[in-house]
Chain A
Amino acid sequence: NAGVTQTPKFQVLKTGQSMTLQCAQDMNHNSMYWYRQDPGMGLRLIYYSASEGTTDKGEVPNGYNVSRLNKREFSLRLESAAPSQTSVYFCASSEPAQSDTQYFGPGTRLTVL
């Protein structure tokens, strides 16, 4: 039981490049989330998915798109990366029917030059 996994762990992009951050969970959770964390700050919600087939914007969705591929996987795409998107990205999941606890992945450290 790996919990929440994220790939890649580190990534360096040039301005304008695109990439997809992958997230998977093996806990059969319905809800999944993407957060970003800038230096010295708390996490901010980018997008979330309450269940398979649904996605909603969080606090800071601009410049990102998401796909809830199936119940296990929730990906985050940067279509045209900007230096302001340099951050650490965390994926999380939860199962509202059981508890409100969110389980977080190890994070992806993204640098945009």
Chain B
Amino acid sequence: DAKTTQPPSMDCAEGRAANLPCNHSTISGNEYVYWYRQIHSQGPQYIIHGLKNNETNEMASLIITEDRKSSTLILPHATLRDTAVYYCIVRVEEYSGGGADGLTFGKGTHLIIQP
């Protein structure tokens, strides 16, 4: 799996959009971009993933650049409960032949939502 680079920490005001960047300049053509988050002391939680098109679900939006070398996770209206460590992971999907070999977590970005 390709490696990712994320800022170690970010602040965002409550109610504003939180934009979390991720660089993945060595991503391969068949690797997806995944985002998970880990709220303090809990197990990680899946947020969203995408290949090359922008994606949106009830939690967040994922914007992937045209060259796929970077992406941004957007939490549109951040709340205090969004304070967590956010992990950007690139990998081949299991059912696309990537194999069930687990996720590779970096240190992520510690997002702090300020009241």
Is there contact, CB below 8 Å, between B94 and A94?
yes
User: Could you say which interface size class chain A belongs to?
Assistant: 20 to 34
Least CB distance from B70 to A in Å reads 19
- The 8 Å CB contact of A105, one of B43, B102, B107, is B43
> Could you say which interface size class chain B belongs to?
20 to 34
Residues of A within 8 A of B14 (CB): none
Q: Can you offer 11 A-B residue contacts whose CB atoms are under 8 A?
A: A41-B107, A45-B102, A45-B104, A49-B100, A90-B43, A92-B44, A96-B100, A97-B95, A100-B91, A102-B103, A107-B41
Residue numbers of B with Cβ under 8 A of A are 32, 34, 36, 41-46, 49, 87, 91, 93-95, 98-108
Bound together, the chains give a CA A35 to CA B36 distance in angstroms of 15
On chain A, the residues within 8 Å of B42 by CB distance are: 106-107
